[in-house]
Amino acid sequence: GITFCSPPTTLYWFDPVTILTNELLSGATIALPSQIVTILTVLRIASQIMFGFFLTATLLSFVLIFLSPLAISSRWWSLPLAVVSFLQMMIVLAASVVGTVISVAFKYAAEAQRELNIHVDLGVKMWVLMWLATGFSVWAFAVHSGMGCCCTSRRDLRIGRRVVREGRGVRG
């Protein structure tokens, strides 16, 4: 069985060959076909891309938290914020798709080898969190886009370009 948990590392990815050689086979080497090595390399690169996308989306979300109130003051702020929100949404969507593809591909690849007796459970909680983040990003983009074309800004109300009648902004 596994007797050691490695310390957390930056850009960690699940490398089954390293785990097998270090833990189960006590340092023995495994000769793998070139196809398997290529697939593992692609999975490592995709995992790093997914990490970069999620990190970038997190930073953009953090920036949007503080810049979003500017959209209330003027529609001119709404357009750039909608563009940033769209970029953030697309990055989260891409990261979620990459994460889903990696998980499903690894599950089918690992369970295809019946003689190894490997069973893979996909992390449903992680999928829910990934796709909730994607859904909220789509919602944020819709709100920012709507504020650019459909909402009355405080500046429009203050300078009289629009007046409030019956709780709704209409042209004055």
Indicate whether 152 belongs to any domain.
no
pTM above 0.85, yes or no: no
Confidence of residue 167 (pLDDT cuts 50, 70, 90): low
Its sign, for the CA torsion 67, 92, 40, 25, is positive
151 domain residue, yes or no: no
> Is residue 67 assigned to a domain?
yes
Considering the domain boundaries, does residue 168 fall inside one?
A: no
98 Rama sector, left if φ>0, alpha if ψ -120 to 50, beta otherwise:
alpha
* Residue 29 belongs to domain spanning: 16-144
Does 35 map to a domain? yes
Residue 153 lies in a domain: no
Mean pLDDT for the chain overall:
80
Two tokens, residue 27: 């340092």
Nearest C-alpha neighbor of 148 from the set 80, 84, 87: 80
**What's the total number of domains in the chain?**
1
Q: How confident is the model at residue 100 (pLDDT cuts 50, 70, 90)?
A: very high
List the beta bridge partners of residue 169.
164
151: its two tokens: 């909402």
Contact indicator for 54, 95 with CB cutoff of 8 Å: yes
